[in-house]
Amino acid sequence: MKKFNLVLLLILVVGKLFAQTEATLELPSKSSDLVISRHIYGQFSEHLGRSIYGGFVVGDDVNVPKQNRIRLDVVDALKKIKIPNLRWPGGCFADEYHWRDAIGPLKDRLKMINTNWGNVTEDNSFGTHEFLDLCSMLNCEPYIAGNVGSGTVQEMSNWIEYLNLDGESSMTEMRKQNGRDKPWNVTFWGVGNESWGCGGDMTAQFYSDQYKRYAVYARDYPGAKLKKIATGPTDDDYNWTQTLMKNVGTKMWGLSLHHYSLPKGSWGDKGSATNFDEKLYFNTLKSGLFMDELITKHSAIMDKYDPKRNVALVVDEWGVWTNVEPGTNPGFLYQQNSMRDALLAASTLNIFNNHCERVKMANLAQTVNVLQALVLTDKEKMLLTPTYYVFDLYKVHQDAQYLPLKLTSPDYVFGTAKLPAINASASKDKNGVTHISLVNIDPLKKIIAKIDMGNANLKFQNGQILTSEKFTDINTFEKPYKIKNVVFKNVKISGTQLAVALPPLSVVMIELK
């Protein structure tokens, strides 16, 4: 009897390991009117650690090609993935930043202490003009976060006038004296940041009243109709969304949402960026996939007050947040970037794509040398992280027609918990090319994704894959190309069905026409 029970147990275990190793997807029979906004693929750079200084901006002692101190290898890398917008100057830093301190001759700029991030001295050598020059070099739109926490209505109003007025005023005269004749016409404008916390510790009711006051004096000028973005909730603070939608409604272009994936679920010991086991891997992906529920529930509240969906949900801070790398300044938030982080990024972007009816903008935190960065630098050295390569794969979705997939996925099981092993999104670009992005988060199983193309009469053109043997694998300055996109051809076609073999820990993009 014991021998029989042991055999039965082995059969059950083996059956569990190999059961449901297929996912099914179905392309829609009719086209969608929805478009995946390119601004979902936005980035975020705060005056924090080595994001600006040592990241984008370097001195003469760093021997790399540069233009006005901005390193061109970083610019070229970001241009390749077509970043659509860049959020600045924060973050928490935005609500202690006074823009007039950082314009004019460098020798005359006022220094300050960056109290949020390490109590280092901010010399304000990178200010409004330098940021907008950077955006011009990147061919992206600026997204400026205004100071509500420690600033004034007049300060914000003057900044917008300085940026956008093509006329005669003291602000435009100051702008011209500082070397800029024509306005920049900046449209994306954040009215504060995290006003429930580092941006002023406000209640939702108090902030909603403050937003309306600031928004009145955030003027539209010819050629620059503002897209005002209100501070939204953190995570599952649904009361904040309810209050803002009730009191502000469509007087804002967008409502922000912040959600970070913490491997240990704690703001204390968050866990290592490189030394973690499957439990922390699973927890991180679970926290990342929670984004779908957050967007669904916040959107439902927004739908109640805005059924025509005029107000965008702007997820302008998201990503993995771990402990800093050992030996680095804890206030600089410098962390490595693993295959796990790439899988989370790809899964999150699939979620945003699948909620493109409400999510119109998002910003990964952050672009260079901070948190889940796309780029890491060390003096002359530069590397592209696994997360960078996800954005390179997914750039094909920008401003493409959304295709809603019907997906059935097997489970990725860890202990008594489980997650969908496969997530995906799809779009059709202006040339009629269909792209399907597929993610397999299971660290052990290869999964066959069977895609029913219906009557679309599509043929496989090519594919790319991002994968690695272990979820802790990283790119280093010594081995910068360990994880990168390579050609993918493991696709079989039978009639109107496509079978895509997804290795464990993989992100795959296939192209059909």
pLDDT tens-digit map of 307-343: 999 999 999 999 999 999 999 999 999 999 999 999 9
Asked whether residue 146 is domain-assigned, the answer is yes
pLDDT at 2 over 70: no
Give the range of the structural domain holding residue 468, as residue numbers without chain letter.
20-32+404-512
Give the pLDDT mean for 162-176: 97
Give the pLDDT mean for 499-512: 97
- Same domain? For 322 and 442 the reply is no
- Same domain? For 417 and 447 the reply is yes
| Residues facing 491 on adjacent strands | 500
Q: Please state the pTM of the whole predicted model.
A: 0.94
| pLDDT band per the 50, 70, 90 thresholds, residue 456 | confident
The domain boundary, picked from 348, 374, 399, lies at 399
pLDDT at 161 over 50: yes
**pLDDT at residue 32, rounded to an integer:** 87
CATH code of residue 410:
2.60.40.1180
- Three-class HEC string of 146-212: ECCCCCCHHHHHHHHHHHHCCCCCHHHHHHHHCCCCCCCCCCEEEECCCCCCCCCCCCHHHHHHHHH
Per-residue pLDDT reduced to its tens digit, 215-256: 999 999 999 999 999 999 999 999 999 999 999 999 999 999
- In the three-class reduction of DSSP (H, G, I as helix; E, B as strand; rest coil), residue 428 is classed as strand
Asked whether residue 25 is domain-assigned, the answer is yes
The domain boundary, picked from 399, 432, 450, lies at 399
- Known catalytic residue at 293: no
Give the pLDDT mean for 161-166: 98
Per-residue pLDDT reduced to its tens digit, 35-75: 999 999 999 999 999 999 999 999 999 999 999 999 999 99
**pLDDT at residue 10, rounded to an integer:** 47
pLDDT at 392 over 50: yes
Backbone angles phi, psi at 307, to 5 degrees: -65, -25
Asked whether residue 15 is domain-assigned, the answer is no
Asked whether residue 140 is domain-assigned, the answer is yes
- Same domain? For 455 and 349 the reply is no
- Same domain? For 131 and 27 the reply is no
Given the residues 317, 325, 357, 380, the one annotated as active site? 317
- Same domain? For 66 and 152 the reply is yes
- Same domain? For 88 and 134 the reply is yes
Q: Residue 464 in contact with residue 486, Cβ under 8 Å?
A: yes
Give the pLDDT mean for 190-198: 98
Cα diameter, the chain: 94
Asked whether residue 51 is domain-assigned, the answer is yes
Tell me which DSSP letter residue 3 carries.
H
Given the residues 155, 161, 194, 469, the one annotated as active site? 194
| pLDDT band per the 50, 70, 90 thresholds, residue 30 | confident
Structural domain tally of the chain? 2
- Same domain? For 438 and 329 the reply is no
Q: Residue 451 in contact with residue 458, Cβ under 8 Å?
A: no
| pLDDT band per the 50, 70, 90 thresholds, residue 5 | low
Of the candidates 164, 452, 470, which has an alpha carbon nearest to the alpha carbon of residue 343?
A: 470
Instruction: Give the whole-number percent of the chain exceeding pLDDT 90.
Output: 93
Instruction: Give the whole-number percent of the chain exceeding pLDDT 70.
Output: 96
What is the rounded average pLDDT for all residues in the chain? 95
Asked whether residue 166 is domain-assigned, the answer is yes
Strand 447-452 versus strand 434-440 pairing type = unpaired
- Known catalytic residue at 22: no
Asked whether residue 14 is domain-assigned, the answer is no
**pLDDT at residue 355, rounded to an integer:** 98
- Same domain? For 383 and 409 the reply is no
Asked whether residue 24 is domain-assigned, the answer is yes
pLDDT at 495 over 80: yes
pLDDT at 157 over 60: yes
CATH code of residue 85:
3.20.20.80
**pLDDT at residue 8, rounded to an integer:** 45
- Same domain? For 138 and 26 the reply is no
Query: Any idea which of 199-213, 333-347, 455-469 has the lowest mean pLDDT?
Result: 455-469
